[in-house]
Amino acid sequence: MLIQAAAMANLGTETAFDVLARAQALAAQGRDIINLGIGQPDFRTPDHIVEAGVKALRDGHHGYTPAGGIPALRQAVAADLADRQGVTVDPDDVVIMPGGKVTMWFAILMFGQPGAEILYPNPGFPIYESAIRFTGATPVPVRLTEENGFAFSADEVLAQITPRTRLLIINSPANPTGGVVPKAELDRLAAGLERFPHVAVLSDEIYSRILYDGQEHSCFLSYPALRDRVILLDGWSKTYAMTGWRLGWSVWPKALREAATRLAVNSHSCVNASAQYAGIAALQGPQDAVASMCAAFAERRRVVVDSLNRLPGVRCVEPGGAFYAFPNISGTGLSSKELQTRLLDDCGVATIAGTSFGAMGEGFLRLSYANSVENIERAVARMAEALPELV
């Protein structure tokens, strides 16, 4: 009999991939499935970025690159952070990753072990809790509530810090809620963290460019007093519709960048070279595609929020960023999981139960509006038809 390592039993998953598989299986049986489950832009990667990737392959960039990424790309990331976010970083502290998810794993592996506590948002991206549990560390949920627009209160976060806290994970704009933490609250958190020099911060800013109503993104690297312990996670996946390229960037405090690179050498060696060249083109080329994708998401947000709020037993706060709506469905009388199953099986609409993002997501459903207005309208119309029978 094969005996897996005990830690494997602690590893969770990302339900979005299971729902995607089920939706695809139903579609293969001829069912008309509308997918509001998976969180990826439905746009193509802009042509000039694709061309740069193809050119890199034609030019013979077929080999390993430095583990932390090609220097030109790390410089491009540093220049982009300076131009767009007003933060100065040393290109040597930038580590290119095969997606933002790997930055998350590396940060959690670096600090997680039995006895350590790691604070993470709940509801939040499910891999935080999965990775924390895998390391044997204790996951400490930072509760996000609808009343607060799914933004944390700095005081509540700070009150949860103990001498055993090793890492605090924050995520704004957030998955699955679309919540955006106001700059004033980030300022308060940063000021409060000065009292706890033993706590590192992983700031997941993968949705930094998908913000609505003219909001500006606040990068958590912008607090000089914390620069020796903030790890930045960002990347190309969501901003440039590049989820399948597997490309992300991270910025590490000087004292940690060698450890991050060593983890890279031990796991993936380096990110595939052509994707890295495409990444340079994305950062340095025209940004109009980013603006038009955001404008499309803004229009869809309006449609999805308005129509959800007309459904019986459902209410939905307006998300400030990302491309997710996180309606409260407790008025339907169904659990999140039951509603997710009924919507997919009975109505052909793929959504994700709030509980897939942590226990505190019970009573909520995540709908990704990275889909056309037409499909969103069709999906909500199907829900409107089915819900009165369920409520």
- Residues 331-390 close enough to bind ligand PLP by CB under 6 A: none
Nearest residue to ligand PLP, scored by beta-carbon proximity: 99
Whether the Cβ atoms of residue 179 and residue 151 lie closer than 8 Å to each other = yes
CB 311 within 8 A of CB 370: no
State the minimum distance, in angstroms, from the CB of residue 320 to ligand PLP.
14
CB of 78 to ligand PLP, least distance (A): 19
User: Binding to ligand PLP by residue 237, rule CB under 6 A?
Assistant: yes
CB 20 within 8 A of CB 38: yes
For ligand PLP, the closer of residues 267 and 335 by Cβ is 267
Q: Which CB, 100 or 320, lies closer to ligand PLP?
A: 100
**Alpha-carbon span 21 to 69, nearest angstrom:** 32
**Amino acid present at 12:** G
Stretch 191-210 residues interacting with ligand PLP (CB under 6 A)? 204, 206
Residue closer to ligand PLP, measured from CB, 326 or 387: 326
E-assigned strand segments in 86-152: 94-97, 117-122, 138-143
| Least distance (Å) between residue 280 CB and ligand PLP | 17
Q: Are 25 and 35 in contact (CB under 8 A)?
A: no
**What's the min distance (Å) between Cβ of 242 and ligand PLP?**
8
Spatial separation of the C-alpha atoms in residues 281 and 162, rounded to whole Å: 44
Nearest to 166, CA basis, from 109, 245, 248, 244? 109
Of the candidate spans 56-64, 93-101, 149-157, 350-358, the one that interacts with ligand PLP by CB under 6 A turns out to be: 93-101
According to DSSP, the residues that pair with 165 across neighbouring strands are 117
Is residue 138 involved in binding ligand PLP (CB under 6 A)?
no
Question: What length does the chain have?
Answer: 391
Binding-residue total with ligand PLP (CB under 6 A): 13
What is the closest distance, in whole angstroms, from the C-beta atom of residue 2 to ligand PLP in the complex? 29
| Residues in region 37-56 near ligand PLP by CB under 6 A | 39
Site for ligand PLP in 2-41 (CB under 6 A): 39
Nearest Cα residue to 95 out of 84, 112, 110, 115: 110
Distance, in Å, from the CA atom of 306 to the CA atom of 30, rounded to the nearest integer, reads 30
Stretch that binds ligand PLP, among 52-60, 235-243, 328-336, 339-347 (CB under 6 A): 235-243
CB of 87 closer than 8 Å to CB of 217: no
Give the Cα separation of 109 and 120 in Å (integer).
Answer: 14
Give the shortest CB-260-to-ligand PLP separation in angstroms: 15
- Give the integer Cα–Cα distance in Å for 77 and 198: 28
The distance of closest approach from Cβ of residue 224 to ligand PLP in the complex, given in angstroms and rounded to an integer, is 25
Give whichever of 124 and 363 is closer to ligand PLP, judged by the CB atom.
Answer: 124
Classify residue 13 as exposed, middle or buried by CB count within 10 Å of its CB (0-12, 13-18, 19+): exposed
In this chain, which of 53, 67, 101, 365 binds ligand PLP, going by CB under 6 A?
101
CA–CA distance, 333 with 388 (Å, rounded to integer): 11
Task: Kindly state whether residue 253 participates in binding ligand PLP, applying the rule CB under 6 A.
Answer: no
243 binds ligand PLP (CB under 6 A): yes
Instruction: State which of positions 281-340 bind ligand PLP (CB under 6 A).
Output: none
Residue matched to tokens 């659990």: 335
Q: Give the CB-side neighbour count of residue 162, counting CA atoms within 13 A.
A: 10
Nearest distance from C-beta of residue 361 to ligand PLP, angstroms? 14
> What does the alpha-carbon distance between residue 207 and residue 177 come to, in Å, rounded to a whole number?
12
- For ligand PLP, the binding residues in 139-178 under the rule CB under 6 A are 171, 175
- From the CB of 59, what's the least distance to ligand PLP, in Å? 25
For residue 217, report the phi and psi dihedrals to the nearest 5 degrees.
-80, 140
Residue whose CB is less far from ligand PLP, 248 or 319: 248
Q: How far is the CB of 234 from ligand PLP (least distance, A)?
A: 9
Q: Is 100 in the site for ligand PLP (CB under 6 A)?
A: yes
Site of tokens 């950062």: 283
Question: Which residue ranges make up the site for ligand PLP (CB under 6 A)?
Answer: 39, 99-101, 125, 171, 175, 204, 206, 235, 237, 243, 248
